[in-house]
A and B are shown apart, each in its own frame.
Chain A
């Protein structure tokens, strides 16, 4: 299966700060990929480089086999919904559809029209007067109706209320089922992504912490609890992601490909949210007061 997004040592620097560094990814096609990380971690930077809106400082990036922004052909194959779903406030819904039709070769007018009908959007309504959820759906329609192979969305539901959020994701999943799209979706909330993603990339402090199929990630990460052991050492092949200690107990989130033989540990599964949080807390900037759970 060809990689839909491939990067090697990708980095982007703004003046003195590296917004993204040393990013190496191989994202397979046919997945719904979640890109998760705290604000400022570099998610938007990565996605903007994937859509050709930014040029890398170092490293390479290939989207559907070509470095962006390549030809109009590649622009046709990739659909993008930017953060806060920008639309032209002065243009109405029908105008936006016409925009899509004029600027995209593979525009499916029937699909766009049906979606707008089903969503109940008023064609004569100016985009500036739509609610946040409606604007997001309009932007999604524009991206889907051009029949791309890859759909990239930058925090599309961050500023939506729960109902609009659910409707957006329903809409998105329907399109994925219908058109066999690959999707890359970023968010700083894991809960948004848990239901829909089957591949996860965790981006914290401008670096990729972990990336892989969700099933595999859940299978290789474990929660270990046991008597207090500080500092923690684990056998080779096992890696501590995060550790917390009370006076009597140590709790670890760790990662391993093989089985765990140490009987002193109680092993249980880690939820996706806890997994991501473990990676995020590992890279928390600056000293943070340790929040220890007193049991």
Chain B
């Protein structure tokens, strides 16, 4: 099971701040997770239509699209950060 947390307009489009999901075994990295969420339902399609606009953090560390999900506890998905 994988915890997914959503932030900013990704959270708004998903309609939830997070969820616990059972991802198929062939969903091995961040890019595959985005594709899977996008294909899963309409809100996922809306949130992840442009995967290049999505950033990810695995257990708090910023990761690229090819980062593996194996061993991950929480994956956070969000647009580029805008603090400061």
- Is chain B found bound to chain A in the same assembly? no
